[in-house]
Structure 1
């Protein structure tokens, strides 16, 4: 006799997976079907608490939070509103994995925040703490809230830590690193590190990403020597930095020595006006402070001919060159975006990057308008190129941009023998895919651009001043 087929929704694992894709309203409806469904779908309802839903949390009875607090995994945007933090003081709220909150400058509020962190310290993998400016140098951060109870034998699972607008001593900073053994990325923007007798000299073996200003890294009390905070990160590979003061005393050669001595493995630099002043020139940092750089992100106005020539010392290792606007504030529309082109006067120098950096995979200068005549003079040799964000001179209307990119997509499909649009045969003829060498002068700007893009077989993401195209 044939067995009766099982309803797939009777399988717990299927219901749990389904719950991940439902809206809160649908999940609540499913949770009311029966008790077995309730357990599966309630976890989805309570899993993430966004800032927009915090006001609903305040309205809940404490008994409800006590019953379901153990299901909370993510809290985003917890702020100083009265009542919200009080609702989370129940002992059941103890398995949070990701927590983001703004702390109030009162002893009582800080105590509640530290208690919430300490209660979840063994499950937390991401923690984002901030305090409104200005920095109160009387409100010290305590590292003990990140330390699990000793009798439990548990350790911290924290991999990402952002502390913004707080104050701590250098020893507290070192102790915090010692506690968070799993830490990989630390962000201390706008946090004041007070110089004290530096005794806790811990070096973290796993931190690879640091976000800190030039002053935080190098500026110490002039009356006593302290190594820069790079001392704590011998395996650092990514450094995002900026300069928060208009001027400060800094010994350039000493800073270079500290970079090469304490963090010699930095291969990715994101410099938001931090390095580039007269005291700390970016071009010299690239030449004397870094080795085998693979990624660099700078402000558009920083990419001067001197900096570009300095990048050539890393031409055999660079895979990513972009300006900070490459991913910041990209409008999701079809409208052509206009930027101030800081590189217009030396567009020829920009061509040194794709023509000499053989391993380049991403070239993102969205504010720069390239001239195809310059491109023809400096043929690109980066055959591994995958991402390109630039603008093209005379490719200045949406119709022209879309035509060029559609030619590129169709031409690439024709090369691969895939399905393509009805105009592909004409496109293939226009582009003369089998030809090599420079385009003819009578070719339109659209054909010249499309032919250039088709030289790179791995290129899959292109933006030429409008929306992002994929092929």
Structure 2
């Protein structure tokens, strides 16, 4: 047991679907100086006479509803977290009811370092509004692929120099894949507009991580205009035509061999340039990104 006279060494805390006074929350924060992550999902905070605006020096990630985070009736929850860099949140009411100015002012004043946003099942209209009109300093975003839309892509394109990581929520374990596991099905959602994703790859020069495992890219579209994301280190996508384990592994193995040759200072063999198979085309394309080390195309993740 922890000595009652010693501060807690807890670094992550979850308090969900409870009611707390602000004074109680402050006491918890004061007792946990090592805390870095706190989850207050659907936790109601009520005013208390002993409330103070204690600011925690280490919490950098918060999970809470928009309606709880920016409550008009109380000092905003973000008062306590000046070092916050990541906010996981959710909002599903109408856009007309969204507290746009309240959110902008609160984040600007209390959490100026906020740059990562997780939006859970927040609808596309609200998601695009958050990205384009509310939180201007974001460099990372994770959202539900079911909520992707042309409006979301256009919102992302408003600030092409900002984005470093873009990903979607997924329940897959990318690192454990048995030979007996089937290649996952590609979701039909947004495939008719998949060309819009290419605008991201062509315009985001600082992008390092792109994890869209439910999205299928088309090499014909990829080859039309070069990607500018030369900082790319990790990518998880599907490629049209890589629809079997053999083809996926074939593309990955060609990429690995090419990386090996490059690391040895050898020139990649010319015969590959004449190979028009989907495996060779994918490998050639990915070999343009010298910093790429993590690759998933539908089976197990390859990490160099």
Q: Into which bin does the TM-score normalised by the smaller protein fall?
A: 0.7 to 0.9
1:402 to 243, 249, 254: 249
Deviations 1:53-93 (A, max 9, x none): xxxxxxxxxxxxxxxxxxxxxxxxxxxxxxxxxxxxxxxxx
Q: Is the 8 A contact 1:297 1:323 kept in 2?
A: yes
Closer, same or farther: CA 368–198 of 1 in aligned 2, 3 Å: farther
TM-score by length of 2: 0.87
Deviations 1:352-386 (A, max 9, x none): 22211111111110000101121122311111211
Q: Using the alignment, how far apart are the partners of 1:250 and 1:172 within structure 2?
A: 28
What's 2:186 paired with? Answer: 339
Equivalences for residues 456-467 of structure 1 within 5 A? 456-467=289-300
Deviations 1:415-471 (A, max 9, x none): 22289xxxxx9x823323xxxxxxx8x712111111101111111111111121234
Q: Using the alignment, how far apart are the partners of 2:144 and 2:22 within structure 1?
A: 30
How well do the aligned residues superpose, as a CA RMSD in angstroms? 2.7
What's 2:80 paired with? Answer: 232
Q: Is the 8 A contact 2:22 2:48 kept in 1?
A: yes
What's 1:203 paired with? Answer: 55
- Higher Cα Rg: structure 1 or 2? 1
1:168 has 2:20 as partner: yes
What's 1:293 paired with? Answer: 138
Closer, same or farther: CA 194–329 of 1 in aligned 2, 3 Å: farther
Q: Using the alignment, how far apart are the partners of 1:353 and 1:234 within structure 2?
A: 31
Q: Using the alignment, how far apart are the partners of 1:429 and 1:173 within structure 2?
A: 64
Aligned residue pair count: 300
Q: Structure 1 unaligned segments of length 5 or more: list them.
A: 1-93, 95-119, 123-147, 420-424, 433-439
TM-score by length of 1: 0.58
What's 2:237 paired with? Answer: 390
What's 2:271 paired with? Answer: 430
Q: Structure 2 unaligned segments of length 5 or more: list them.
A: none
Deviations 1:122-151 (A, max 9, x none): 5xxxxxxxxxxxxxxxxxxxxxxxxx44xx
Equivalences for residues 29-428 of structure 1 within 5 A? 94=1, 120=2, 122=3, 148-149=4-5, 154-196=6-48, 199-219=51-71, 225-243=73-91, 250-274=98-122, 276=123, 281-325=126-170, 328-330=172-174, 332-334=177-179, 335-417=182-264, 428=269
Q: Point out the structure with the larger helix share.
A: 1
Helix, strand or coil: the match of 1:374? helix
Deviations 1:251-288 (A, max 9, x none): 333223222222221111111023x365xx22222233
Helix, strand or coil: the match of 2:226? coil
Helix, strand or coil: the match of 1:405? helix
Q: Using the alignment, how far apart are the partners of 2:187 and 2:41 within structure 1?
A: 28
- More RCO (CA 8 Å, sep 6+): 2
